[in-house]
Amino acid sequence: MKKLSMLSALVLGLVFVPSVKAAEKPALDETYRDTFFANGYAITIDKKDGDEEGTTGAKICWQGEEEEECLEVDADVTVFGGSHNDSTELPTSKITMRGGTIHGIFGGGMHTSYVKNATIEMTGGKVDFIMGGGTAGFITDCEDRDDTKRNPASAKDGSTLTKVDIATVIVSGGEITGSVFGGGEDYSYTGRSSVTIAESFTGNINYVTGGGSNGYTNSTSVEIDGGTVNVLQAVNRGFAGTSTLVVNGGHVKKAFASAEGDNENLGVEGTAVLTVNEGAEVDEVAPGQNGASGNDKKGAILNYHEGTLTAEKINGFATEDTTVTIALKIVVGDKEHTFEYPKGALTSDDVKAEIRLYNLLNEDSKIEGFYIDEKFEEEISDFSKLEDGSVIYVKTAKIETVTPPNTGDINLVLIISAIIAAVAGTIFAKKKIAAKAN
């Protein structure tokens, strides 16, 4: 779904108008529940001083006006990168968790709040959940919460009072007892979210969701490189415009291109792509909830590397929406490039496109042929018959260059030629005159 232009939004009265006042300093709020609001300041979360196990809470630090400032919090605190009931437009929020124990992390704020670019990086410590966006709910008994825009329609068109434009979540270490979401919670809006579970992560995560829980995420992407994930999905109990989920490694027990469950009125509205690459372990895949696209599962696309999935692991994907890929390697001199491509569909033009895209060919060289051996003895006649793991050796030759003559020499020759012609013409003319005189 395309976002409304600013002019259109103003006309319709749907635009979220931020305040221009300066953000408050980071602070702990214990009014309803232990919550810490960074208010757009970049913060780090570590274990408390003297807490070797890092289980009693955490120490949160940020750069003050003159020096670093820190505050110790209990283990039940929830940390927000944004603000609470404050419409100040915060350009960024950055949360880096390296140690300690807390309840949860939101990249955005709570209730009325707006963060343009929220980033969460977890390298250590322990947390129950992570959400890249903000929340329009969480504390439901908050007396000063503005509910005028707290509804599905406002979340979808971006006029909700809880917004994050871009949310990024990267998990490379630590322990997560619950789930990871790229988007926000309740009727919040997230423009674009991304979640990366790095190869270095070795723990278990219950749910990894590209978008949010309820609310709306315009586009979302997930990359799983490590760890164990019980359920991978695009969105939970809400909507997403489009989604791309990629599993490169680790172990995923269930993967849904859209969302877990059978509620056809929720999920990804547009294209939901699930890709399982070589090296990944996935037990089961399914299209999932279909958003507004109907019961025919249109929009749910499965790409998987040959051998990573068997027929009994694939549930509900239409044949025409399923593509088996193979890994191929291109070798050009001392340069190599490995890529995935649909099995049986490769052409020489596709190989040339990969070579151009990754600058494998020197500027002074040209392609003379494609071979299956490095001695260039057997040329490839049919690229569509190449199997997984095939190597394409590219024979090249130097481009012959013709050195243009020096223009100065040409000019000199022309001048001399003109002089000779002029002299010859003069002699001939004199001869003719002399002949007539006789």
pLDDT digits (tens, 9 = 90+) for 112-145: 999 999 999 999 999 999 999 999 989 877 777 7
377 and 267 in a common domain: no
Q: Considering only CA atoms, which of 284, 276, 279 is closest in space to residue 256?
A: 284
CATH number at residue 380: 3.10.20
List of long-range contacts for 28-33, beta carbons under 8 Å, 24+ apart = 28/71, 28/73, 28/77, 29/84, 32/139, 32/141, 32/142, 33/78, 33/139
Question: What's the pLDDT at 400?
Answer: 86
| Domain count of the fold of the chain | 2
195 and 86 in a common domain: yes
310 and 295 in a common domain: yes
Question: What's the pLDDT at 264?
Answer: 66
The answer to which of 241-250, 266-275, 350-359 has the lowest mean pLDDT is 266-275
C-alpha to C-alpha distance for 307 and 118, rounded to whole angstroms: 38
> Is residue 428 situated within a structural domain?
no
pLDDT digits (tens, 9 = 90+) for 71-118: 999 999 999 999 999 999 999 999 999 999 999 999 999 999 999 999
352 and 216 in a common domain: no
C-alpha to C-alpha distance for 86 and 174, rounded to whole angstroms: 31
Is 94 in contact with 81 (CB distance < 8 Å)? yes
Inform me whether the pLDDT recorded for 240 exceeds 60: yes
pLDDT digits (tens, 9 = 90+) for 340-392: 999 999 999 999 999 999 999 999 999 999 999 999 999 999 999 999 999 99
Question: What's the pLDDT at 3?
Answer: 36
The answer to which of 56-60, 230-234, 237-241, 327-331 has the lowest mean pLDDT is 237-241
Question: What's the pLDDT at 21?
Answer: 43
Distances (CA, A) of 248 to 69, 276, 294: 40, 6, 30
Question: What's the pLDDT at 421?
Answer: 59
Is residue 290 very low, low, confident or very high in pLDDT (cuts 50, 70, 90)?
low
Question: What's the pLDDT at 17?
Answer: 40
Question: What's the pLDDT at 150?
Answer: 82
> Is residue 45 situated within a structural domain?
yes
In this prediction, residues 401-421 reach a mean pLDDT of 63
In this prediction, residues 242-250 reach a mean pLDDT of 97
Q: Which two tokens stand for residue 336?
A: 């190599």
Q: Which two tokens stand for residue 185?
A: 């919670």
Amino acid at 338: T
> Is residue 149 situated within a structural domain?
yes
Q: Considering only CA atoms, which of 51, 136, 50, 130 is closest in space to residue 97?
A: 130
338 and 303 in a common domain: no
> Is residue 388 situated within a structural domain?
yes
C-alpha to C-alpha distance for 176 and 180, rounded to whole angstroms: 8
Is residue 425 very low, low, confident or very high in pLDDT (cuts 50, 70, 90)?
low
The residue with greater pLDDT, 259 or 263, is 259
The residue with greater pLDDT, 145 or 25, is 25
How many CB atoms lie under 10 A from the CB of residue 229?
Answer: 25
319 and 180 in a common domain: yes
Question: What's the pLDDT at 405?
Answer: 63
Q: Considering only CA atoms, which of 410, 411, 379 is closest in space to residue 393?
A: 379
145 and 236 in a common domain: yes
Q: Pairing relation of β-strands 68-74 and 175-181?
A: unpaired
Is residue 306 very low, low, confident or very high in pLDDT (cuts 50, 70, 90)?
very high
Which range of residues forms the domain containing residue 361?
A: 328-398
Question: What's the pLDDT at 414?
Answer: 61
205 and 97 in a common domain: yes
315 and 361 in a common domain: no
Q: Considering only CA atoms, which of 341, 323, 339 is closest in space to residue 331?
A: 339
Q: What percent of the chain has pLDDT over 90?
A: 72
